[in-house]
Amino acid sequence: MKKLLLSVSFLLVIFVLNAQSLEEIINKYTIANKLDKVSGFKTIKITGKISMMNMDMQMDIWMKNPNKIKSVTSFNGQEIVQVFDGEKGYSINPMAGSNTPVEMTSEQVKEVIRNNMFQNYMANYLKEGKLTLDGEDAVNGKPAFKVKADIEGGNSAMMFIDKSTYLITKSIANVNQGGMAISIESYPSEYTEASGILLPMKTTTSASGMEIVTTFTKVEVDVPIEDSVFKIK
Domain ranges of the chain: 20-230
Model confidence band, residue 77 (pLDDT cutoffs 50, 70, 90)? confident
pLDDT at residue 20, as a whole number = 73
- SS3 (DSSP) at 77: coil
Q: What is the mean pLDDT of residues 187-194?
A: 95
What is the rounded distance in angstroms from the CA atom of residue 227 to the CA atom of residue 92?
Answer: 19
HEC letters along 178-215: CCEEEEEEEEEEEEEEECCEEEEEEEEEEECCEEEEEE
pLDDT attached to residue 143: 97
Average pLDDT over residues 203-219: 94
More confident residue, 160 or 3: 160
Q: Which residues have a Cβ under 8 Å from the Cβ of 31 and sit 6 or more positions away?
A: 166
Helix (H) / strand (E) element for 173: namely strand 168-177
Provide the H-helix boundaries in 40-178: 106-113, 121-127
Query: Which homologous superfamily is 20-230 in?
Result: Lipoprotein localisation LolA/LolB/LppX (2.50.20.10)
Q: pLDDT category, 10, cuts 50, 70, 90?
A: very low
Cα–Cα distance list, 221 to 31, 118, 135, 194, 197 (Å): 19, 12, 36, 9, 8
Judge whether 130 and 151 are in contact, CB under 8 Å.
yes
Query: What is the average pLDDT across 66-84?
Result: 93
- What is the pTM assigned to this prediction? 0.85
Cis amide linkage into residue 143, ω under 30° from 0? no
Residue 58 has pLDDT above 50, yes or no: yes
For residue 114, what pLDDT band results from cuts at 50, 70 and 90? Answer: confident
Report the pLDDT value the prediction gives residue 216, as an integer from 0 to 100.
Answer: 96
